[in-house]
Amino acid sequence: MPVPSDKTSRHWFVTGASGGLGRHLTEHALRNGDRVTATVRRPAALDGLRETYGARLTVEILDLTRPADVDEVTGRTLRSGPVDIVVNNAGYAVVGAAEEMTTEQMRDQIEVLLLGPMAITRAFLQPMREQGGGRIIQISSVGGQVGIPTHSSYHAGKWGLEGFTESVSREVSDFNVHLTLVEPGATRTGFASALQYTTETTVYRDTAVGRTRHHLETADENTFTGDPAKLAAAIYDTTRHPSPPLRLTLGSDAYGAIHVALTERLTALETQKALAESVAFTH
- At 78, is the secondary structure helix, strand, or coil? helix
Instruction: Give the CA dihedral 247, 251, 255, 260, nearest 10 degrees.
Output: -130
Task: Count CB atoms within 10 A of the CB of residue 78.
Answer: 16
120 touches 39 (CB < 8 A): no
- Which amino acid, one-letter code, is at 210? G
142 touches 258 (CB < 8 A): yes
Cα separation, 146 vs 247, whole angstroms = 14
Give CA separation, 235 vs 11, 63, 105, 140, 195, in Å.
15, 24, 30, 12, 24
Cα separation, 86 vs 165, whole angstroms = 13
Cα separation, 31 vs 240, whole angstroms = 15
**Residue 90 DSSP one-character state:** -
Helices (H), 32-151: 47-53, 67-79, 103-110, 116-131
Residue 41: phi, psi to the nearest 5?
-105, -20
Q: Write down how long the chain is.
A: 283
As annotated, the active-site residues are 140, 154, 158
214 touches 258 (CB < 8 A): no
